[in-house]
C-alpha cells in the first residue's frame, strides 16, 4: 500500500464514520416521518416512537424547518 492509498483510506474513514451513518439515518427517518404525516409533529413523533420534545431536538440538530 502506497502513501496515496493510505491517504485515501484516511479520507474515506473520516467521510463515513458510524456517527455519520447514524446521523444520516436519523435525518432520513425524520424527513420520511414528516412527509408521511404532512409535517404533523405529534404524528411524526408517534411514528418514530419518540417524544415530541425529542423530535424537536432532532429537528434543531439536523436543521430541519417545518412549514405547514
Q: What's the rounded mean pLDDT across residues 41-63? A: 98
Ramachandran bin of 50, using left for φ above 0, alpha for ψ from -120 to 50, beta for the remaining angles = beta
Residue in the structure block whose three cell numbers are 436519523: 26
Fold of 29-68: Arc Repressor Mutant, subunit A (1.10.10)
Q: Would you state the pLDDT for residue 68?
A: 65
* For residue 2, pLDDT beyond 80: no
Distance in angstroms between the alpha carbons of the first and the last residue of the chain? 54
Lowest-confidence region among 1-5, 33-37, 53-57: 1-5
Q: Are residues 27 and 57 in contact, defined by beta-carbon separation less than 8 angstroms? A: no
Q: What pTM value is reported for the model?
A: 0.76
Amino acid at each position: 500500500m502506497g502513501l496515496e492509498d493510505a491517504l485515501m483510506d484516511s479520507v474515506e474513514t473520516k467521510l463515513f464514520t458510524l456517527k455519520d451513518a447514524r446521523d444520516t439515518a436519523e435525518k432520513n427517518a425524520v424527513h420520511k416521518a414528516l412527509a408521511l404525516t404532512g409535517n404533523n409533529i405529534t404524528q411524526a413523533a408517534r411514528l418514530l416512537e419518540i417524544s415530541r420534545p425529542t423530535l424537536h431536538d432532532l429537528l434543531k440538530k439536523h436543521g430541519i424547518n417545518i412549514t405547514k
